[in-house]
Amino acid sequence: MSQTRNGTNSGNESRFHGNGASNGNGSHGDHGSSPIPRSPLFKKCDTFDKAEALRRVGMYPYFRMIESAQDTEVTIDGRRMIMLGSNSYMGLTNDPRVKEAAKAAVERYGSGCAGSRFLNGTLDIHVQLEEEIADYLGKEAAIVFTTGYQANLGVISALTGREDNVFIDRTDHASIVDGARLGFGRVHKFLHNDVSDLDRMLGNSNSRGKLVVVDGIYSMEGDIANLPEIVKVARRHEAAILVDDAHAIGVLGNQGRGTADHFNLTDEVEVIAGTFSKSLASIGGYVGADKSIIDFLRHHARSLIFSASMAPACVAATQKALQIIKEEPERREKLWANTEFLRTGLQSLGFDTGESETPIIPVVVGDSERCFLIWRALHEAGVFVNPVVAPATPANRALIRFSVMATHTTEQITEALEIIEKSMKSLGAMPATA
């Protein structure tokens, strides 16, 4: 009979099932009638009630089940909704050409790679995609990860050792924060987009290596990193720069090449990372840099080495989406026209859209409870948006996050604005200036 590591009999599996699995006579397995004691480890789980409290009052906004493709309109509970909460900025997630490319990859390569890139999981299309991404970003080389989250975990933790410091914006994405934590370097958080604060921190650091990590476009507020000034400060202190272009790829720069290209600073930014899950209509991540950095990551980025590789369908979908973005500049033009139309419409209703200058458009609400009430009203009226509360945004700066796609029609955005105005008036939530 099989044994567990500590020598106990692994056949008595009932020990490991909550309060014990009854054998029909009131006892629970071979270890007596008493259930195993509840570990103190789970106290945090047993006392967590915030989500259930929101569910009870009908204001739980997360894990909504969408019954259709991710498009400008979606179906939830059998109802049509205008989607203004997606990151599919180019509107390619449901594009027939992208779907056909994914299908063809499954036919040729199967559904998965059954291993990591490091061992048996590298396909020829992985290498092709890396070459295409490197060329697109204007870098010598690139490497693709299974998710964008893993890309940031891998690159930041691999590059920052015990004698290094990493400097991150306070509103950087969670994957940047976690990547910095996984590395052995000391982490410093500077005030959002505050170059003077970054300058002060860099000046006070006597570390051997310094890495500054910023989002190209900040995912909640929709503002752009002040990259020209960040580059000046970083050069003065001999710090390297990593830009996470998750929300900027496809959106900013020539052919959507990202934030560094937008500011003509590609050669000044050593490392560019991002995801395929937004404009590129798939899932996966990438890092672009010079050849020596990429080769180092191939052999040191744990989230690459110890994770199964990007599925063939995702690779092929990304390749096709990238091709479409490069060949159809009118998509980006339409995206920016839609962005301006929605932002202007929200502002004309009196709403505060913060510092947004991209397709991510927040409506600043302030109070979290009020934010959930507004979200529910819009959801019930047929507009899909996302409520954002602390800690994703500073306390007392809760907001409704809108995001627009290149494929939205003017009629859809107009309808959404009419619904927003009507819903806000019914709530008594219209701004005083409206």
Q: From the candidates 28, 173, 188, 247, which is the catalytic residue?
A: 247
HSE, CB side, 13 Å, CA atoms: give it for residue 357: 9
| Residue 278 annotated in active site | yes
Task: Return the number of other C-beta atoms located less than 10 Å from residue 265's C-beta.
Answer: 16
Identify which of 302, 348, 359, 353 has the alpha carbon closest to the alpha carbon of residue 89: 359
HSE, CB side, 13 Å, CA atoms: give it for residue 225: 37
Identify which of 30, 312, 56, 280 has the alpha carbon closest to the alpha carbon of residue 148: 280
Torsion angles phi and psi, residue 55, rounded to 5: -60, -40
**Beta-bridge partner residues of 401:** 362, 386
Q: From the candidates 175, 219, 356, 403, which is the catalytic residue?
A: 219
Give dist(CA 122, CA 404) in Å, integer.
Answer: 35
| Residue 219 annotated in active site | yes
Q: From the candidates 28, 173, 210, 278, which is the catalytic residue?
A: 278
Provide the 3-class DSSP secondary structure of residue 34.
coil
- Listed in sequence order, the residues at least 6 apart from 78 whose beta carbon sits closer than 8 Å to its beta carbon are 67
Q: Is the Cα torsion angle 254, 255, 260, 265 positive or negative in sign?
A: negative
CB 270 within 8 A of CB 241: yes
| Residue 10 annotated in active site | no
Identify which of 176, 181, 119 has the alpha carbon closest to the alpha carbon of residue 152: 176
CB 284 within 8 A of CB 142: no
**Beta-bridge partner residues of 167:** 188, 212
CB 398 within 8 A of CB 370: yes
CA 124 to each of CA 70, 128, 131, 194: distance values in angstroms, whole numbers, following the listed order: 29, 6, 11, 43
| Residues involved in catalysis | 219, 247, 278
